[in-house]
Structure 1
Amino acid sequence: MNEVLIPDQALVSLDQDLDVMLSSIGGEIVIDPNDPEYGVAFRRYLLFSRWPSLLERGELHATAEELLYNSYYWMLKFSKLHERKHGYDAGIEQQVFKILENTHCNLDWNVVEQLTNLVETELGAGP
């Protein structure tokens, strides 16, 4: 999946910029972006879905498809980690699928399947 996912270690340099963006939206987000279990995944999802322009500050570049796949990967990972801690949340699961439904990109369903399998492998068996 190296061809579509931007490695997390390349994103760490953007954490301060992401903190500034998060503080600017105040209470708009009800999920704790600093939660020790799922906070990083949620923050990465927000980076790719809401503030992809921050990637340029880290001299990272992503196509529309790469933004989509990274958003999907991090939201799926967040949803699984959040579920482990708080139980099933239909709204969060729906949000994962909306990423794929609301795209204007040509989805490669093989890539989506690989990303789904990657998250399952990384996190192990269910909640």
Structure 2
Amino acid sequence: MTRKAMYRMIQACLMGRTDYVTEEGISIYQRGTHETTHLSPVLDALIECYLTGTTRSIHLSLHTLAITAGVKPDEAMRALLALSDVFLVSHHIEERLLKIQQIDIDVMRTLSVHITFSAWLSYHLDLIRHPERHRVG
């Protein structure tokens, strides 16, 4: 799956299409409603962070995320919470698209978040990050 296709599929879910099913048979849906319109830029910023990193988890300041996404820090936080309510379902197994593992406030009053992507999303992003590892032949 290309980054564009994956992004389009997640966007369909975030825009209210709850019946989206991937070619692998994974349903994607969002629980609840969230008062934010900045899911796309925050998700894109998180994906960029992941692609430039080396692990499945991301640790960054909320301020950095907001600047990268081009939104205010409170909107970035609302978008993170909304994205953590997106679920992938396959064969009765349910997994969050991303998990907020930890939120910290340091001595300088900087809010930072530690996020882990789902195995499915990590797999597809790794195909983009390291295409040479997944070539057949």
Tell me the TM-score normalized by structure 1: 0.32
Q: Which has the larger radius of gyration?
A: 2
Higher relative contact order (CA 8 A, sep 6+): 1
Tell me the TM-score normalized by structure 2: 0.30
Which structure has the highest strand share of the two?
2
